[in-house]
Copies of this chain bind each other. A is one copy, B any other.
Amino acid sequence: MSNNRISMAVIRRLPKYHRYLRELLDKGINRISSKELSEIIGFTASQIRQDLNNFGGFGQQGYGYNVEDLYNEIGLILGLTNTYSTVIVGAGNLGQALANYNFGTHGFKLEGMFDVNPKLIGLKIRDIEIKDMDLLQGEIKNKNIDIAYICTSKDAAQEVADRLVKCGVKAIWNFAPIDLKIEDENIIVENVHLIDSLLTLSYFLKDQ
């Protein structure tokens, strides 16, 4: 099942399936065909069937898919049955925003926040106290942190990443506008490059 030949294109569609299936569940819909799903999600029915079949035959001919089962299966594929411990590094506006997002409901438990700014240190966001960056390594090892969200400035990000990797973080969710250089290929790095997104918008706007 956890076949690593699955293409990135497919993987990046999985959260969207998960999102739409959650909505269907909430509406009390318990059965859906690839054709119906295609109409609400905007992928072709063929693509939906192809995508899902990468992970197993979750449907039934003549019936379609059971919404709850499929939702759970995709949750499983995405690893949402696991619980991960996380920290936020850089507790400025963005870091605080992420703290308030409460990804904990999806299994990402926030265990700490760190910053260098004395004005922020000591502040509490949702019961999490912002601590001095000097305490980063110790706490990460202590609390066995899996994922770090980097919300520092561009200039601080690489150094922070190096420290994180050194103390055994498994994944980095990077919001700094830089491509981190990480030697260890086993460390997962997922970037959210806001400026890239905005410039893409700008590209399309220009032609209007």
Contacts and interface: CB of A to CB of B under 8 A. Distances in A.
A105 to B, nearest CB: 10
A199 interface: yes
Contact of A173 (B80, B171, B192, B201): B201
A198 interface: yes
A15 B206 contact: no
Contact of A97 (B97, B193, B197, B207): B97
Interface string A171-207: 1010001010000001010101111111111111111
A60 interface: no
Interface of A: 2, 4, 11-12, 14-16, 18-19, 42, 77-80, 82, 84, 92-94, 96-98, 100-101, 103, 106-108, 146-147, 170-171, 173, 177, 179, 186, 188, 190, 192-208
B4 A199 contact: no
Nearest to A149: B198
A15 B200 CA distance: 7
Q: Which of A107, A202, A207 has the most CB of B within 10 A?
A: A202
11 contacts: A19-B195, A77-B203, A77-B206, A78-B202, A79-B205, A106-B199, A170-B208, A173-B198, A188-B201, A190-B197, A190-B198
